[in-house]
Chains A and B, each alone.
Chain A
């Protein structure tokens, strides 16, 4: 039987959504495979392991160590390799997140394996991934060795959670040593509200927002929708918001269900970061703005007039 590892990713002791998406992706690769969740962390690994099972994994393997509290390449490589050596899987699925991007190439290198990064779909033994900033797509397959992929968050829906589902949770002891990089400090800049890369809805502002205060109505709309707030490079360059909010070719690539672009002209570099969103709404004063070419729905008007009214309407129809 095929065995596939699905990597959980913990943030502040909680499994991120992408963890459950890796289980779903593994099932799509091989419906009948044994899917084994792998959970590395310093605490709460049992909880996350059980969640992986409730979301469809058959069992889970954990490694608990203080040195796994924050992601570092050296510690996570040692822990992951210990599990991989024990399980000898046919393939692995990991999130294409900050730590997934950092760790997966190194594991692939250690295993002399191929790695297909940043996939958005599984079609049998072929994997779909955007290239050229989403201006094209390619299908890739593995020629030999392990089937190793990273999945772009928010593209492969997790399976339904089944709280009655149970499975074996075992742990592997690893002596983590010789860490060559040490984390001294983490400054949280992006942790207010909803995580951009995992958000189902994003409200984004561009130069049209005009000031830091101008983001206020966007935040109000986002709060009402349970959405994350993002920005174009223009808005970041103008100092209206932090670069951690930037969506685009440089910055984050996002694919929410709904993207509401407010006062964003739609430069090609911005489109690279969001054009694969499922539904795009554009609100802009300029009827000629390029953003209307990719939008599903457009409202030509001043965002300071439209956005508050939209917030009110959503409240009214809630």
Chain B
């Protein structure tokens, strides 16, 4: 099976966000594999172990993305591909990313593509479904279980807490939701092996694309931090009195009751 994973690096969840010159300051920040993409990598490895084949992890990013690709290889992926847009793409959006991925997948024989259902930074969740549309293959989002038997695929997906069972077939794109699996940590031998696994680096040129082809359809005008919240009020006194005061504050001051 030809198994592909779409991966993105994101800020570590514990990172504080700072803005410098109108953009999010990335200098010194810790990056991780987008947590939802970890589910995708884990599932891809399991599919390969059950059905054979090869797992290729693809990212559209910059030189720094190599670190997260190596982590994916250390988890057990076989190959990695970095489409480095550092020099060519100023402000890409989901349209841009999908144009690049579409070009990459053009000559690939795909059985399944796995992606996170959303990235925790930009949080648009667009890339998976957009790419499936361009490749003209079915997609199923926010999956929590996946069984492949021949060409047939049985999926359980999360629909705002409800569980929907879906049947479809390969080739297919899925986006992964929490609950699908427990992503493994890279083992030491895994990390050693990862250093020798192939990591292909491409630029837009290599995909016969130029800057105009991937020009974004949307534009970020401003980035800002939420207003500093005023310190809350911790109530005092006997529980009965606190509760009375709280209800009255919620009614008269906050006006939410």
Contact = CB atoms under 8 A, between A and B. Distances in A.
Note whether A and B form a binding pair: yes
Interface of A: 70-71, 73-74, 97-99, 101-106, 108-110, 112-118, 126, 130-145, 180-191, 195-197, 201, 225, 242-245, 249-252, 257-258, 268-269, 272, 275-276, 278-282, 287, 292-301, 305-306, 309-310, 312-314, 317
Nearest to A102: B141
B243 to A, nearest CB: 5
Secondary structure of the B side of the interface? mixed
Interface residues of B, number: 77
B139 A117 contact: no
Nearest to B95: A114
Secondary structure of the A side of the interface? mixed
Given A136-B226, A299-B234, A317 B247 contact: yes
Nearest to A298: B234
B200 to A, nearest CB: 26
A106 B133 contact: yes
A268 B94 contact: no
B103 to A, nearest CB: 14
Contacts of B129: 73, 102-103, 105-106, 109
A254 to B, nearest CB: 11
A177 B133 CA distance: 16
A250 B178 contact: yes
Contacts of A249: 13, 35, 120
Given A136-B226, A297-B250, 11 more contacts: A74-B138, A106-B133, A117-B126, A138-B221, A183-B166, A188-B162, A249-B120, A278-B254, A280-B232, A297-B246, A299-B242
B221 A140 contact: yes
A269 B13 contact: yes
Contacts of A73: 129, 138-140
A126 B126 contact: no
A301 to B, nearest CB: 6
Interface centre among B125, B163, B256 (most CB of A within 10 A): B256
